[in-house]
Amino acid sequence: MNIETPPTEKPYEKPEGERRGLIIVNTGNGKGKSTAAFGLAFRATGRGKAVKVYQFMKVPTARFGEHRLAEQVGLPIEGLGDGFSWKSKDLDHSAQLARDGWEKAKADILSGELFLVVLDEITYPLIYGWLPLQEVLDTLKARPKDVHVCLTGRRCPQEIIDIADTVTEMTLIKHAFQAGIPAQRGIED
């Protein structure tokens, strides 16, 4: 490790542009995509902003840690899926759930009533061909100017990355699962 001298001057200038809704993408093979999106959702909720989280792969009855906290602070989360695709008994049904869920999310994005809409794990229905990419792109472009949208999931389509304002790629360096350690409650669920 190299020891550094802390900066004594601000390393950047404050942007002069207008404030507006952002398209934020959390992608990559590393952990933390949904966690970061929930951080945004809780931050905005803490500021009294209207937020909704749509989880495209989670079942509506999911009760992970984020769901429990969201209930306590009044953050609505809607599970739209039927779990991991390899657990699905009917992929056509899974695809229909994604399409139905997209219609709800799309309506919320375009309504202008929400400050932030999180589309958690939306990349999977996109790359499986369950959702039309162009419709998602058109919705993101047509959203009211103050609506922020955060999209998560591995292998985000380049077309979404191209129109996004902020894109973070989570890079896997090491994961406990690779060492045979199962998911830990409160850390990964």
Helices and strands (H and E) in the chain: how many: 6, 6
Region for 133 from its dihedrals, namely left if φ exceeds 0, alpha if ψ lies in -120 to 50, beta otherwise:
alpha
Q: DSSP per residue over 130-182, as a string?
A: SS-HHHHHHHHHHS-TT-EEEEE-SS--HHHHHH-SEEEE---S--GGGGTPP
pTM: predicted TM-score of the whole model, two decimal places = 0.91
pLDDT in tens, 127-141: 999 999 999 999 999
pLDDT tops 70 at residue 55: yes
pLDDT in tens, 128-186: 999 999 999 999 999 999 999 999 999 999 999 999 999 999 998 898 877 888 888 87
- Quote the DSSP letter at residue 126: H
Structural domains in the chain plus CATH codes: 21-169 (3.40.50.300)
